[in-house]
Every structure is written in structure tokens, then in C-alpha cells.
Amino acid sequence: FVILKNNELIAGISSGLVYRKAVEVEVATRPNEQGNGFAKKLGAAMILESLNRAMFPLWDAHNEASKKVAEFLGYELSEPY
């Protein structure tokens, strides 16, 4: 999934790794567009699509911003990164 602004890519989410019934989620937003909720919207869309495909979306929060988005979407920290 992507978000375009004036036909320009400003945010996107993808699966970097698929293993059995799990999919690892990766999201990126242009620095000047961060803080606008795009990662949350993309994350929600990816979670729903993963569940519709009977896949479990994994979120590996490697920075504080990613951790906050994951927690907003209902993830709980299982162990420190």
C-alpha cells in the first residue's frame, strides 16, 4: 500500500519477509511528511489485508516512532529490540 500526494510517493508499507503464515511489516514515510498519521493508516490497511489472507502481521519496531505506531495499532512489546 502507498500514499501519494500530487502523484508523488510520500509513504508506503510492504512485507519484507513472509514465513509460513506470518508476514513482517515495514513502513516508511518521507521525513517531511512524518507525524501526519500515514504510518497508522497504512499499518491498519496492512493488518486488515494480512488477516483477510489468514496471515499474521509481525511488527518489528526498531525505533521509537515505529514502536508508537505499533502500540497505537494494538501491538504489545514482547521483548526489547
Q: Which CATH class is domain 2-72?
A: alpha beta
3-state secondary structure of 27: strand
- Between these two residues, 72 and 77, which has the higher pLDDT value? 72
Categorize the per-residue pLDDT at 80 as very low, low, confident or very high, splitting at 50, 70 and 90.
Answer: low
Structure confidence at residue 18 (pLDDT): 83
What are the boundaries of each domain within the chain? 2-72
- Residue 62 is predicted with a pLDDT of 81
pLDDT at residue 81 greater than cutoff 60:
no
Region 43-70: mean pLDDT is: 92
If you average pLDDT over every residue of the chain, what do you get? Answer: 91
Instruction: Tell me the whole-structure pTM to 2 decimals.
Output: 0.87
Could you give phi then psi for residue 57, rounded to 5 degrees? -80, 120
Strand 2-5 with 22-29, pairing: unpaired
Question: How many other C-beta atoms are found inside a 10 Å radius of the C-beta of residue 66?
Answer: 18
